[in-house]
Amino acid sequence: MWVPLHAVCLRSQRVCRRSVAAAVSQCFRHRDASVSHFSHSAGLSAQTCKALVYRTHGDPSRVVQLEGVELPSLGAKDVLVKVLAAPINPSDINMIQGTYAILPDLPAVGGNEGVAQVVEVGSQVKSLKTGDWVIPKDAGLGTWRTQAVLPEEDVISVPNDIPLVSAATLGVNPCTAFRMLSDFEDLKPGDSVIQNAANSGVGQAVIQIAAARGINTINVIRDRPEFTELSDKLKAIGASHVIKEEALRKHEIKELFKTCPKPKLALNGVGGKSATELLRHLQIGGSMVTYGGMSKQPVTVPVSALIFKDVKVRGFWVTKWKRDHSHDGRAFRAMLDELCSLIKQGKLRAPACTEVGLQQYHAALDTAMQPFISTKQVLVM
């Protein structure tokens, strides 16, 4: 099954829904040395799937192994799914390395995001049917595998007529972009947002969702030999302005603000000096929201920004948002419906992806860990 992170040791906010400790104790009582017995139910079937498993934290290319994993019996409120595709995200890498904010009990199956097709449903399942596409509701379900038996409540349906890579990459970056554009400032058509890491998965989603809402985006990227080509690509998906980081301190930014309103919202995925520069250009009372720290440098807030501009400095983590809203799924459902509508209208596309077979996971992991990669690695089962 997809091992649920809502039942790991670091999640102290609420009581676990099921005991992963008991499941893990059964995982490696092997009848066959090549088969791992991951289970969340008492009964075990003879059916197995292939999964990327790690038993210890470390270098993903060393600790992740492709293994046969035994599937549990289908319970009344469970669904059997066939995983179709699952991306390799930075959070996946960090989780395997043991550096992420939340970590599953070991052994664990890698992957926090992906799309699967329902193959069979339990007798009491009401919200899903055979053939439906589903994505995880929460992080840590272990999506790097061919099949899984899951509680109905752990997944949510998405349309099966959207592109496969769009469905597989829907639950993290587009949701992060959507919430940041919706929850921190009351943005109207004609307003502006400034962001660094504009060519990241989140950045591209911000550009497209903002464009669909009539919101200007000022997109900051580092200088590079292919800057013009990248700028053209971002403008093709809706970017209003694309500038180099060093331009934030030069006269050209003042010229830009003669025709474009100063931003109400700044989105920071880098940290360090880049974040400080974003703050300088916010409107009075505006917000900077930090969702990442690729530079691994702290965010420094000028005193003048706090005193004279009364800026708000906030943080956002989509996993926490999902968990905070898990008691009532209507907000999550409404967000997915709006995002999928944009996808169907051609207004929201997945970032560039390279589809890789599960057997080629070593190469995919190595590529995903390289700095400044231009495409997302997606495991196709």
Tokens of 189: 């058509």
The string of DSSP codes covering 310-370 is --EEEE--HHHHHHHTTT-THHHHHHHHHHHHHHHTTS--PPPEEEEEGGGHHHHHHHHTS
Q: Residue 177: CB partners within 8 Å, gap ≥ 6? A: 202, 205, 206, 209
DSSP-derived 3-state class of residue 47: strand
Element counts in the chain: helices (H) and strands (E): 13, 17
**Torsion angle, alpha carbons of 206, 207, 208, 209, to 10:** 40
Q: Which residues of 23-49 are buried (b: 16+ CB within 10 A; e: fewer)?
A: bbebbeeeeeeeebbbbbbeebeeebb
> Per the residue annotation, which of 54, 100, 291, 361 is the catalytic one?
100
Nearest to 18 by CA among 112, 141, 102, 118: 141
Phi, psi of 207 (to 5 degrees): -55, -45
- Rounded to whole angstroms, how far apart are CA atoms 80 and 74? 7
- Rounded to whole angstroms, how far apart are CA atoms 86 and 298? 31
User: Is 361 part of the annotated catalytic residue set?
Assistant: no
Class of residue 226 by CB neighbours under 10 A (exposed 0-12, middle 13-18, buried 19+): exposed
Give the CA distances from residue 74 to residues 56, 127, 342, in Å, rounded to whole numbers and listed in that order.
Answer: 29, 16, 35
Question: Amino acid identity of 224?
Answer: R
Residue positions annotated with a catalytic role: 100
